[in-house]
Amino acid sequence: MPGLNELTQWSVIILLAVILTIISVSDIRHRRIPNWSVLVILGLSIPWILLGPGPSVLSASAAILIAFGVTWPLYAFGLFGAGDSKLLMALSLLVGLQNLLVFFVVVAIAGGAVAVASLAADPTRALVLFQLRGKGGYGKDVPYGVAIAIGAIFVIAWPFVRTALA
Average pLDDT on 95-118 reads: 94
Model confidence, pTM? 0.88
Q: State pLDDT tens for residues 76-105.
A: 988 889 999 999 999 999 999 999 999 999
Q: State pLDDT tens for residues 44-84.
A: 999 999 987 889 999 999 999 999 999 999 999 888 899 99
User: What is the Cα–Cα distance from 74 to 95, expressed in whole angstroms?
Assistant: 20
Long-range contacts of 59-64, Cβ-Cβ distance < 8 Å, separation of 24 or more: 59/96, 59/97, 59/98, 60/92, 60/93, 60/94, 60/96, 60/97, 62/97, 63/92, 63/93, 63/95, 63/96, 63/97, 63/100, 64/89, 64/90, 64/92, 64/93
Using CB atoms within 10 Å of the CB of residue 61, give its burial: 0 to 12 exposed, 13 to 18 middle, 19+ buried. middle
Contact assessment for residue 152 and residue 5, using Cβ atoms and an 8 Å cutoff: no
Using CB atoms within 10 Å of the CB of residue 119, give its burial: 0 to 12 exposed, 13 to 18 middle, 19+ buried. middle
